[in-house]
């Protein structure tokens, strides 16, 4: 028995020694893999030892990996992943019983491949809809990286000229569109009359653009809907991006606060005014006292409360300012003497909002948002007078979505706004309108308004997406609204149809009735008519979309829009609902998504847009009537980290109303006699913009530089004509010349 115990003890010691030795031989290497330049942790990267297929590991979502090696000493590691350049072998020393260093590997992305981001579409409706990412639009040449400015490169979008990016969609003006940002309405999108958007370009994730026939869940307008989504903050680490261009500079800081909370904060300011003399000459008779300047900011804080709910806090603001003098040398003063003197303009807004997104049950989801916005507009001229408008608006919006069985998706939407507008106006009363020629301020009677107008509105949307066949969905909906100014209720139907007859082919059709509140100056006492009614529209659209091999797609869509009760100038009421109109056309979009080293699209739109004065019987083309618009956009990664891009746009010249003679009024002033509205057209417009960009990658940061050459072949596109003092001759007013725009961006 003692002998047996001795044998067992010896075996136990031997086993312990073998296990201990085996434990010592199972050595581990730890490390993390990041994207080169951005330090973004990379998930699913394969770590391996070249020449030994048995030694591999895979990174976790946070980029970390653990690799077991059989013995101490030196070994080489490499990393590989789809969409990234395979890393060079990295030497690592493994010690037995010592503490091995944590390895860091940086992988360089292959820029000819698209980053694939799977994200739910915030609205499944496809009728008259274009979806495009902010990244695609920010790379369009001639935009200095501003994705909202690039919207004009999409089919059916017209603009007033090079100095305005505000889009006119399918025969309606920019004022006839509704804009949403992160589920909530936005009322201030562009600086300096439309030249540049108020959003940091890096934050814009994508656009849903409804050119017509949109569903009942959006506010009532007669034009289109532009629904913008801003991206979420990064959650892996604190980072920063700095952008410097010839016009402005901006900075973005973002990152995690806790494991389930993150933020970003962005700010931007123009700085040309800091380098120019404090005063100077803009053109004959126009001297600036404060060169146009602007700033803007955006902030977002996200708390991921649970996998099924999140709370987002948002804030944003912007301001523009300029001051100038008009002297007797200015043509505008020669024609309208009251315009002489000093002028200053200031406009700005500040907003705060909250958005709560919840998955209440597997088939029930809700989004609830509240916001506050304050805007302030001040314009003052020595003789002309002043306009001061301040507005406080409180707003909420809620969407409840229910998957009711296999074939029905129901939406109930409610939104409401309460606001107060303070007016302080002392100015000549002129009738600005597409239905009238250029107004004369000097001869106009003066009017004042010091009212405070309280407004309330409530909108309700009901929609059912009914999949009545395997390949067919009918969208049935209605929009109900009430607002307190006119004290009117309105219920309007909306219909849509989506059919997939064969794989990769989509047929769509839509119809709906819409209305829109008149512009503010058209309804205020003294300057407008408080007894106006709504402008109305009826939209029809039909289209076919085909997905093609090699990431190609083609889309053809036709539309017809009927407009009624448009507001026109009329005495003695100032304005009445006495106009009508129509817009019709067809659009083709052929697009190539990035699969190798190039991408781009070609769009062709042919359309007619007309207006009719129902009182006088006069018919004329709308000011945005540009029958043929062609866009060609191309981007080519011709070498690693190098990109070349080009955009060419052609459009038919816009209609204008010419001066055909003169007369002397009762005060002795020489006044112009105008021809028929829209009876002359500007020369056709065409412009080529090119861009070359280079990325410089370092392990922990990257720098990007681009050169935009705007109007590369220096075409003199005409935006209008300036007449001399007696209207006997005129000279062309040309748009942007050949102009380089340089930008540098650093990401840390």
C-alpha–C-alpha distance, residues 487 and 274, integer Å: 49
Q: Are 553 and 544 in contact (CB under 8 A)?
A: no
Two tokens, residue 293: 């300047």
Sign of torsion over alpha carbons 268, 270, 274, 275: positive
Residue among 510, 357, 526, 365 nearest 445 (CA): 526
DSSP string, 437-468: ----STTSPEEEE--EEEEEEEEEEEEEEEEE
What is the predicted pLDDT for the residue at 537?
Answer: 98
What is the predicted pLDDT for the residue at 607?
Answer: 96
C-alpha–C-alpha distance, residues 465 and 126, integer Å: 11
Q: How many CB atoms lie within 10 A of CB 691?
A: 25
C-alpha–C-alpha distance, residues 516 and 277, integer Å: 45
C-alpha–C-alpha distance, residues 400 and 262, integer Å: 26
Question: Tokens 């807004």, residue?
Answer: 349
- CA 402 remoteness from chain centre: 29
C-alpha–C-alpha distance, residues 286 and 561, integer Å: 41
C-alpha–C-alpha distance, residues 634 and 739, integer Å: 20
Residue among 606, 532, 609 nearest 575 (CA): 532
List of residues 6+ apart from 6 with CB closer than 8 A: none
DSSP string, 621-671: E-TT--SEEEEEEEEEEEETTEEEEEEEEEEPPPEE--EEEEEE-TTS-EE
Q: How far apart are the first and last CA of the chain?
A: 73
H or E element in which residue 223 lies: none
List of residues 6+ apart from 724 with CB closer than 8 A: 331, 334, 730, 731
What is the predicted pLDDT for the residue at 113?
Answer: 43
Two tokens, residue 185: 């309405």
Exposure string for 551-565, b = 16+ CB within 10 A, e = fewer: eeeebebebbbebbb
Beta bridge partners of 560: 540, 584
CATH architecture for segment(s) 230-743: Beta Barrel (2.40)
DSSP string, 35-101: ETTT--B-SSPEEEETTEEEEEEE--TTSEEEEEESSSEEEEEEEE-TTBPPPPPEEEEE-SSS-PP
Q: Are 28 and 67 in contact (CB under 8 A)?
A: yes
C-alpha–C-alpha distance, residues 385 and 688, integer Å: 42
C-alpha–C-alpha distance, residues 457 and 527, integer Å: 23
Residue among 193, 656, 619 nearest 438 (CA): 656
- CATH fit for domain 13-107, picks 2.60.40.1120, 2.30.42.10, 2.40.37.10, 1.10.150.20: 2.60.40.1120
List of residues 6+ apart from 727 with CB closer than 8 A: 659, 661, 662, 670, 672
CA atoms within 13 A on the CB side of 410: 9
Question: Residue 20: which region, alpha, beta or left (left: phi > 0; alpha: psi -120 to 50)?
Answer: alpha
What is the predicted pLDDT for the residue at 102?
Answer: 79
C-alpha–C-alpha distance, residues 136 and 643, integer Å: 13
Q: Are 82 and 54 in contact (CB under 8 A)?
A: no
Pairing of strands 408-428, 385-404: antiparallel
∠ CA 726-732-737, rounded to 5°: 150
What is the predicted pLDDT for the residue at 300?
Answer: 98
134 by DSSP, 3-state: which?
A: helix
What global pTM score does this model have? 0.90
Residue among 64, 67, 75, 69 nearest 42 (CA): 64
Q: What φ, ψ does residue 202 adopt, rounded to 5°?
A: -70, -20
Per-residue HEC secondary structure of 179-198 comes to: EEECCEEECCCEECCCCEEC
Question: Tokens 């301020």, residue?
Answer: 441
H or E element in which residue 270 lies: strand 261-270
C-alpha–C-alpha distance, residues 206 and 120, integer Å: 12
Q: Write down the domain spans for the chain.
A: 13-107, 129-229, 230-743
Two tokens, residue 469: 């066949």
Q: How many CB atoms lie within 10 A of CB 170?
A: 29
CATH code: domain 129-229 is 2.170.130.10
What is the predicted pLDDT for the residue at 5?
Answer: 41
Exposure string for 611-645, b = 16+ CB within 10 A, e = fewer: bbbeeeeeebbbbbbbeebbbbbbbebeeebebbb
476 by DSSP, 3-state: which?
A: strand
Instruction: Give 280-330 pLDDT, tens digit per residue.
Output: 888 888 999 998 899 999 999 999 999 999 999 999 999 999 999 999 888
H or E element in which residue 284 lies: none
Q: Are 690 and 646 in contact (CB under 8 A)?
A: yes
Mean pLDDT of the chain: 90
Q: Can the peptide bond before residue 283 be classed as cis, meaning omega within 30 degrees of 0?
A: no
619 by DSSP, 3-state: which?
A: strand
What is the predicted pLDDT for the residue at 120?
Answer: 56
Strand blocks (E) in 153-247: 157-158, 168-169, 178-181, 184-186, 190-191, 196-197, 204-210, 225-230, 239-245
Residues in the chain where the model's pLDDT stays below 70: 1-26, 97-101, 111-121, 193
- CA 501 remoteness from chain centre: 33
Two tokens, residue 215: 């569903």
What is the predicted pLDDT for the residue at 194?
Answer: 72
């Amino acid at each position: 028995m003692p002998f047996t115990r001795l044998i067992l003890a010896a075996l136990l010691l031997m086993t312990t020694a073998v296990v201990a030795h085996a434990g010592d031989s199972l050595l581990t290497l730890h490390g993390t893999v990041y994207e080169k330049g951005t330090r973004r942790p990379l998930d699913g990267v394969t770590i391996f030892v070249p020449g030994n297929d048995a030694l591999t590991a895979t990174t976790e979502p946070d980029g970390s990996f653990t690799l077991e090696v059989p013995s101490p000493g030196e070994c080489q590691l490499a990393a590989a992943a789809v969409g990234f350049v395979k890393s060079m072998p990295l030497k690592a020393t493994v010690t037995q019983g010592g503490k091995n260093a944590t390895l860091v590997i940086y992988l360089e992305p292959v820029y000819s491949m698209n980053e694939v981001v799977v994200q739910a579409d915030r609205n499944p409706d496809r009728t008259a809809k274009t979806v495009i990412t902010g990244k695609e639009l920010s790379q369009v040449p001639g935009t200095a990286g501003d994705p909202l400015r690039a919207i004009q490169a999409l089919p059916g979008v017209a603009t007033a000229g090079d100095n305005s990016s505000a889009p006119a969609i399918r025969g309606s003006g920019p004022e006839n569109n509704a804009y949403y940002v992160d589920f909530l309405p936005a009322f201030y999108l562009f600086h300096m009359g439309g030249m540049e958007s108020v959003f940091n370009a890096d934050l814009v994730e994508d656009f849903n653009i409804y050119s017509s026939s949109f569903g009942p869940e959006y506010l009532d307008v007669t034009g289109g809907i532009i629904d913008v989504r801003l991206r979420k903050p990064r959650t892996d680490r604190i980072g920063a991006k700095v952008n410097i261009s010839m016009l402005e500079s901006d900075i973005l800081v973002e990152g995690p606060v806790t494991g389930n909370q993150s933020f970003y904060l962005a700010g931007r300011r123009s700085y040309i005014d800091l380098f120019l003399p404090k005063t100077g000459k803009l053109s004959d008779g126009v001297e600036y006292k404060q060169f146009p300047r602007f700033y803007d900011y955006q902030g977002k804080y996200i708390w991921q409360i649970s996998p099924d709910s999140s709370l987002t806090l948002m804030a944003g603001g912007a301001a523009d300012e300029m001051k100038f003098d008009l002297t007797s040398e200015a043509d505008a003063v020669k024609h309208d003497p009251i315009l002489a003197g000093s002028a200053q303009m200031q406009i700005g807004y500040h907003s705060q909002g909250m958005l709560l997104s919840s998955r209440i049950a597997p088939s029930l989801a809700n989004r609830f948002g509240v916001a506050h916005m304050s805007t302030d507009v001040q314009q003052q001229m020595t003789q002309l007078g002043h306009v001061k408008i301040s507005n406080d608006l409180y707003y909420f919006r809620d969407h409840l979505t229910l998957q009711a069985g296999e074939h029905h998706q129901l939406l109930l939407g409610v939104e409401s706004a309460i606001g107060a507008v303070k007016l302080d106006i002392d100015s000549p009363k002129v009738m600005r309108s597409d239905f009238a020629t250029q107004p004369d301020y000097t001869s106009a009677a003066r009017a004042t308004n010091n009212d405070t107008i309280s407004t309330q509105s409530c909108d309700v949307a009901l929609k059912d997406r009914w999949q009545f066949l395997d390949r067919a969905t009918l969208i049935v909906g209605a929009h109900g609204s009430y607002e307190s100014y006119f004290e009117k209720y309105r219920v309007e139907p909306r219909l849509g149809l989506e059919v997939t007859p064969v794989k990769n082919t989509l047929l769509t059709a839509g119809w709906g009735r819409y209305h829109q509140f008149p512009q503010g100056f058209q309804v205020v006492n003294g300057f407008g008519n408080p007894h106006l009614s709504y402008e109305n529209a009826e939209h029809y659209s039909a289209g076919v979309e085909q997905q093609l091999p090699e990431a190609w797609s083609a889309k053809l869509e036709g539309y017809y829009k009927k407009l009624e009760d448009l507001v026109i100038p009329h005495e003695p009421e100032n304005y009445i609902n006495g106009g009508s109109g129509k817009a019709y056309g067809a659009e083709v979009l052929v697009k190539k998504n990035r699969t190798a080293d190039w991408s781009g699209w070609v769009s062709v739109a042919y359309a007619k847009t007309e207006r009719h004065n129902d009182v006088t019987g006069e018919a004329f083309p709308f000011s945005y009537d540009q029958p043929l618009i062609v866009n060609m956009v191309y981007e080519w990664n011709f070498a690693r980290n190098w990109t070349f891009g080009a955009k060419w746009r052609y459009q038919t010249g816009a209609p204008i109303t010419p001066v055909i003679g003169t007369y002397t009024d009762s005060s002795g002033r020489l006044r112009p006699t105008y021809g028929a509205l829209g009876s002359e057209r500007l020369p056709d417009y065409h412009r080529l913009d090119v861009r070359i960009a280079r990325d410089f990658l370092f392990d922990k940061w990257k720098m990007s530089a681009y050169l935009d050459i705007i109007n590369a072949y220096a075409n003199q596109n005409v935006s209008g004509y300036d007449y001399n003092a007696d209207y006997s001759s005129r000279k062309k007013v040309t748009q942007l010349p050949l102009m380089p725009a340089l930008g540098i961006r650093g990401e840390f």
